[in-house]
Every structure is written in structure tokens, then in C-alpha cells.
Amino acid sequence: CYVNLGRCPQNRPIAVGVGPIFAPTLYEPLVAAPPGPVTVIAGGAGIAQRYYGRFAAYLAEQGRPTLTFDYRDIGRSRAGSIARSPVLMRDWCIRDVPAVLDHVNRQWPGRPIQWVGHSMGGFATGLAHNNALIVRQLNIATLSGYWGRMAVPERYRVRIMMGVLGIPIARMLGYLPGYLMGGEDMPGPAFIEWARWCMQPDFFFADTTLQEVELVARFRAPICFAQIEDDSWGTPAAVDAIASRFTGNAERALWRIRLHDAGASKIGHHGFFRDQFRDSLWPKALAWLDGQPAP
């Protein structure tokens, strides 16, 4: 289920493969490079891996193999209807992320594993039992999802969608249609669990059934949290709240991304991975992964 990706004219995969769990896609450098880190890009909730393809191709151009994947029942990991899917959001964190880490460790034994997490993809590693395999992690727009820390008026839209409308819809249909949250269709149980977490000031740390929360403080790799100026979900308060839980990391840095510095009028929660930031933000991300101080 792997594919070698060159810099083809459309900057798209030459071919794709489908897997039953996380359907990985490998972006390989066109020119052989000395053995170095392998990078994994983990997407946000309900966002398919194809969204991160251009950033993955950019990292591969810099000489590092880069892997993207889809959580179970999302994107290319989905096989048919998900109306009866039993998948919870915790499954993506405590089952899929460890599976990806184990897979990369087997495929590239001895190579350092670096992790780029977008939104949920950043805090998911804190719940992974084998997160010691990660040597360096960059989080983009990773946040504690409590609705009350989001920006106005977005916080009220989220409060209504997640706290009032979304759960009945997910129960009735068995899934949440992607257009309601701006992403892929989500398994009903996954959305319901996510919504419940977002209603709690302590987010998933308030879930007494999630024993893996103890692993967050044991995560040791250097970690950097990128907070984007106009991100209505990942506000300074929301990013700081999740960053404060990662107390065991050898280094914990914060990167405040300003619109002016990026030469943009807007970036938002998802925009970092757009090709327009190839020359402004992406080199800074790469520099941090290469061991330089946070911008």
C-alpha cells in the first residue's frame, strides 16, 4: 500500500494504495539522500491525508521520506458505508497512531521518526503507548478543544453544532456528514466522543474512561506548538491549554505565526498546509525539525 511520489507536474501521487487501517502514502526524495529522519504527517479530525500531500512532497524534496495516512474509516481507510462504524475518536489516538509508529519503525529500523501533527494529529501522540519512538514533534494548530476557548463567534457555532445538533444527527444517521464540520464524513461514535470532549473545559482529560491520558505527561520528545494568529479554534488560550499538559518533554516551544510574517491576509485553522506558504512558513517548520530554535 505504498507509492513512490516524485515531483510530477500536478504535484499529485502517481498512484495510490488503499489499506484496511491507515492506508499510508509514502513520499520519497527524487534523489537518494544520506539516511536521516523519516517524517510522519498526522491529520486533524475528519481531514483526509490528501490535504497534506503538497507539504509532504515539499519535505520529500528536502531529502526526507515522508508518510501520510488516514485514520480508520476516514479517507482511503474507509471501505463503503460508515453508518454502523463503531470507531471512537480515541481509537485514532490509541490504536492507529501506535500502529503507524510501529510500521515506520519496522520499515526504517534505526531511523529517527519525526512527527508533524495537525490539530488532533498533534495531541494524539500523547495518548500513544509507544510515543517514545518519536524523536521530535511539530504541532500545527493543535489545541485543547473546549468550545469556550475558541474565538467569537466561532465558539457559539461549535457550541450549537457539537452541543445541540450534531449528536442527534450522528445518532440518527450513524455518522456525521462531513459538510457540517468542513471535512470528511465521520463515524457517529467518533463524532459523539469528540463533541463530548469539546463540552468539557479539561477536554479529553476530563474523560475518566480514557486511561491513556497518563501517557501525555510521559512523552519525552522535544515538541513545538505552532499557534496561528487568525485560527478561531486554536486560539492562544486553546493552544496554551493543551501545551501545558505536555510536561515531560525535553523541550517545549511555542511558535506564534503572525499573518504579517507569513505575508498573508488569512491562514486559519487549516491554511498552513496550502502551497502559498511554501516559501514563508514551510522552511521555518523544516528548520525546527532539523533542530533549530523555534521561530
Cell of 25: 502514502
pLDDT in tens, 101-119: 999 999 999 999 999 999 9
Is residue 140 classed as helix, strand or coil in its secondary structure?
Answer: strand
The pTM assigned to this predicted structure is 0.93
pLDDT in tens, 182-200: 899 999 999 999 999 999 9
C-alpha span between 37 and 139 (Å, rounded): 17
CA distances from 282 to 57, 65, 73 (A): 11, 16, 29
Mean pLDDT by 10 residues, the chain (295 residues): 35 38 89 87 97 97 95 93 96 96 94 98 98 98 98 97 96 96 94 98 98 98 98 98 97 98 97 97 98 94
Closest CA to 13 of 33, 32, 28: 28
Tell me if 144 sits within 8 A of 233, measured CB to CB: no
